[in-house]
Chains A and B, each alone.
Chain A
């Protein structure tokens, strides 16, 4: 009897492990199988034409994702310009300079920031940041790429801080000792020895932050204005791929070209974030060599 339970439990747990892989493959399969009919009927052209996203138009629907790709790029880059330097500096402070009590105090605060739901950040951007931006830049509306970039940056900050701090802490003590023994100051040791040694981990942190920024939906949906026109500057309204899907997902007609086009956008989003995360993953596995 015992051996039957034993075997059943083993099969059950193997199945649980297998299920994780199946879910990831399943997501890719569902995205592919639902975007294929659209790609077959329309080809790749319309999705990348110099055109607008207007798939529900009565006469000639257009499916171009180009402006949404621009929007995603602008918000993501803007967020990283803001979040990577601040995040890495804060991580360097936490890992190398902060006293133990500061670490005990600040790390949970960073974790709290990580837990703030993105819809709450979006709400803050909508009611506080947008009027502020409109006043500062003398605009009619503060709902634009700039607003989205700041809030997505705030969303990505805790991820970057936590992972960069891990990377810096993982640098072997011998590196620091060697630098100090050669006469380097603590400041020189941090910037010339420790951080370069943690570089691959810090890059991975920035990339994982980037992956999150690319896929972030609620913040951009609420604060970037969602215009489908091509943006000229950060003060223009943009629509990102994620927000584009979120806007249409509620009332799209099942199995229409519009429906399939949404899955094309989803597939694109999935592939971009997958590649970014995979690269970050490879970088994280590369640890400083003296660990051996």
Chain B
């Protein structure tokens, strides 16, 4: 209301109502850009859901590909993605949580912690194909894993590390300082404080980070191109040294490399839908979980 009055005083040449309508038009223009963004997402999701849904049935999800991958399902790709993300998490979560505990609980804030945090942010910006090169040179060749679940899992683990560090640090920061001070005052050592007071309260946040990391790893293709993903395998991986099929890689080959591209287009759509649904569900779970514990923190607990 006050603004209204001031407007009238200052804008003598133009009527306030005229200004108001310009302003409203401007607001609508900005709103439209946001609607455009949502529309883009809507078109992509609609296309994939509408053309992929018809392909998906129990057989598609539980059977291996047949007849030169022109029929059958995508079961091995689902299993492969599941295995490789497990290794990713086993690699990235302990290291990421450890680094976050160091940054938030142990370190004296200064040059070194700034350097660590800068490294986290820069690691997040390294192109995924560069992780692929690194994984191929180090895990596949130097460590001698060969193209395998473990080589690809470690490569994806490096890639998701920034996600887990950042989310874990945020989670640790939400634990009130007074909790730590109270425990220290009772004579607890630092590790006791971290283990019994800080970590239990940070678990939901760390879990959020883990799920976000999982979603990221499950959707990545470039890092696994040369570290273990396979075009087609007649059987499921039986050790961490086996190659594997993966959903994103399967989508890539079914849409660009297969000898009968147009014939397998429905399978590609089905794969895209399964991958999209998987990643979106994981992200949604993380968002909801985060909202719940942020609300809790806001309420004072």
Contact = CB atoms under 8 A, between A and B. Distances in A.
Contacts of A200: none
A149 interface: no
Contacts of B27: 93, 97, 187
Interface stretch (B36-44, B59-67, B173-181): B36-44
B222 A218 contact: yes
B3 A185 contact: yes
B279 A116 contact: yes
- Interface size on B, as a range, is 35 or more
B130 A269 contact: yes
Nearest to B190: A6
A97 to B, nearest CB: 5
A128 B47 contact: yes
Given A89-B30, A215-B130, A242-B129, A111 B283 contact: yes
Nearest to A179: B3
Contact of A187 (B26, B125, B251): B26
Contact of B122 (A126, A217, A277): A277
A154 B97 CA distance: 32
Given A27-B126, A31-B133, A273-B125, A2 B9 contact: no
Contacts of B252: 119, 122, 218, 221-222
Contacts of B122: 24, 274, 277-278, 281
Contact of A242 (B36, B222, B283): B222
A187 B126 contact: no
Contacts, number: 263
Contact of A269 (B9, B127, B191, B275): B127
Interface stretch (A7-15, A49-57, A63-71, A228-236): A7-15
Contact of A186 (B11, B23, B218): B23
B202 interface: no
B198 interface: no
Interface in A183-236: 183, 185-187, 208, 211-212, 214-218, 221-222
B36 A17 contact: no
Contacts of B123: 20, 23-24
A253 interface: no
15 contacts: A24-B126, A108-B287, A112-B280, A117-B221, A120-B48, A120-B276, A181-B6, A183-B7, A183-B10, A186-B23, A208-B125, A250-B226, A266-B129, A266-B130, A274-B126
A215 B128 contact: yes
Contact of A185 (B19, B97, B120, B220): B19
A263 B132 CA distance: 11
B237 to A, nearest CB: 19
A214 B295 CA distance: 37
B37 A86 contact: yes
State the 5 A-B residue pairs at the shortest beta-carbon distance, nearest first. A215-B127, A117-B219, A16-B98, A183-B10, A277-B125
B263 interface: no
A30 B129 contact: no
B136 A2 contact: no
Interface of A: 2-3, 5-6, 9-10, 12-21, 23-24, 26-27, 30-31, 34, 85-86, 89-90, 92-94, 97-98, 106, 108-113, 115-124, 126-128, 154, 157, 161, 180-183, 185-187, 208, 211-212, 214-218, 221-222, 242, 245-246, 249-250, 254, 262-263, 266, 269-270, 273-274, 276-278, 281
Given A86-B37, A94-B34, A19 B275 contact: no
A182 B6 CA distance: 8
A127 B40 CA distance: 15
Nearest to B37: A90
A212 B48 CA distance: 24
Nearest to A108: B287
A87 to B, nearest CB: 8
Given A20-B116, A20-B161, A218-B222, A90 B34 contact: yes
B255 A127 contact: yes
A161 B38 CA distance: 12
B102 interface: yes
Given A106-B38, A215-B127, A270-B127, A20 B120 contact: yes
B190 A10 contact: yes
Contacts of A86: 33, 36-37
B130 A31 contact: yes
Contacts of B40: 113, 154, 157
Contact of B102 (A17, A98, A116): A17
Nearest to B212: A115
Contacts of A124: 44, 47-48
B184 interface: no
Given A119-B248, A278-B122, A217 B128 contact: yes
Contact of A123 (B23, B141, B251): B251
B95 A16 contact: yes
A246 B222 contact: yes
Contacts of A26: 134, 138
Contacts of B29: 89
Nearest to A247: B225
B159 to A, nearest CB: 10
B99 A111 contact: no
